[in-house]
Amino acid sequence: MLELQDAFARKFHYLRLSVTDVCNFRCQYCLPDGYRPDGRKTFLTLDEIRHITQAFATMGTNKVRITGGEPSMRRDFTDIIEAVASTPGIRKVATTTNGYRMAERVADWRSAGLDAINVSLDSLDPRMFHQITGQNRFHEVMAGIEAAFAAGFEQVKVNTVLMRGLNDGELGQFLAWIKSNPIQLRFIELMQTGEMDQLFERHHVRGAAIKEKLLESGWQQRVRAHNDGPAEVFWHPDYVGEIGLIMPYAQDFCASCNRLRVSALGKLHLCLFGEYGVELRDLLQHKGQQAALQRRLREALADKKATHFLHQGQSGMTPHLASIGG
């Protein structure tokens, strides 16, 4: 098997597959003005999703995270989960969601083959949640998390963008929440984008400072698995839950890169923070194109850079912080 490997000997066992750009939340750090539909866009079909998943699986990918936008906005979301989960070679299927449909549908997702779930939750205060997300759905999201446990998920990962002056004062509440609950609480460091420089200056909290506090308080870092996402994960003997830190500005953030992204329009993105995309959709139309598709994937990896350019203020196609929270 010819694995996906770049010029820096990094292997890619993890695919982040976007199935829609649509989102119904208006998070301050992502889509403060809400999603603006483009009638010209047609997102990947179920068959195209099958073809891309099969190609990656035959080249060593064993984990797929289904993302958006908000992936559950697709009416065929459960069918997408089933199609990905039934692909030979795929051992883990995850999704990242804002949680608003979880309470009623997460059991179906579990039955379809979903193994892991990340929920975006930026505050434990309903009023602050509303302020950050533009949606008064805090209690629905919390009910969805409970429903996930009832459906058989042993752990739920919760993505929180920590922002100074908004929710950074809730760190104690979050820690109390995970003390007796099997939740991996993942703090995502706010990124600077060209459109949100002022937001970054007002609200940025350094992930390194949080890491320092955790280590001083007896938290210990876990060893990463080969198909883990970008979080540094910490555990504490007095806590059932865990803490993850996603720090894209950390010096070695890209050294362990193991993931590629395919957009909802069928483009391969070699870096979650890059704008350039390699067109794949013309090779997703029938099974006979698999060899050509695999060849294009291998050739594209020759252009993957050693690191991102966030320190130069280039965040590429990823102003949506939930998309890095795998």
Torsion of CA 235, 237, 238, 243, to 10 degrees: 0
Question: Which residue has better confidence, 38 or 309?
Answer: 38
* pLDDT range class, residue 9, cuts 50, 70, 90: confident
pLDDT digits (tens, 9 = 90+) for 202-243: 887 788 888 999 999 999 999 987 778 788 999 999 999 999
Is 86 annotated among the ligand-binding residues? no
Asked whether 83 and 57 are in contact (CB, 8 A), the reply is no
CA dihedral 99, 113, 295, 276 (to 10 degrees): 0
Question: Of the candidates 24, 1, 22, which has an alpha carbon nearest to the alpha carbon of residue 11?
Answer: 1
Convert the pLDDT of each residue in 253-307 to its tens digit: 666 788 899 999 999 998 766 667 899 999 999 999 999 999 999 999 887 776 6
41 is in an annotated binding site: no
Residue 16 is labelled as binding a ligand:
yes
281 marked as binding residue? no
Which pLDDT value is given to residue 195?
60
Domains of the chain, first to last: 14-312 (3.20.20.70)
318 is in an annotated binding site: no
Q: Categorize the per-residue pLDDT at 323 as very low, low, confident or very high, splitting at 50, 70 and 90.
A: very low
Pick the more confident residue, 248 or 209: 209
What is the distance between the alpha carbons of residues 175 and 85, in angstroms, rounded to a whole number? 33
Per the annotation, does 193 bind a ligand? no
| pTM (2 d.p.) | 0.89
254 is known to lie in a ligand binding site: yes
pLDDT for res 110: 98
Q: Does 96 appear as a known binding residue?
A: yes
Looking at residue 231, what is its pLDDT?
A: 86
Q: Is there a binding annotation on residue 121?
A: no
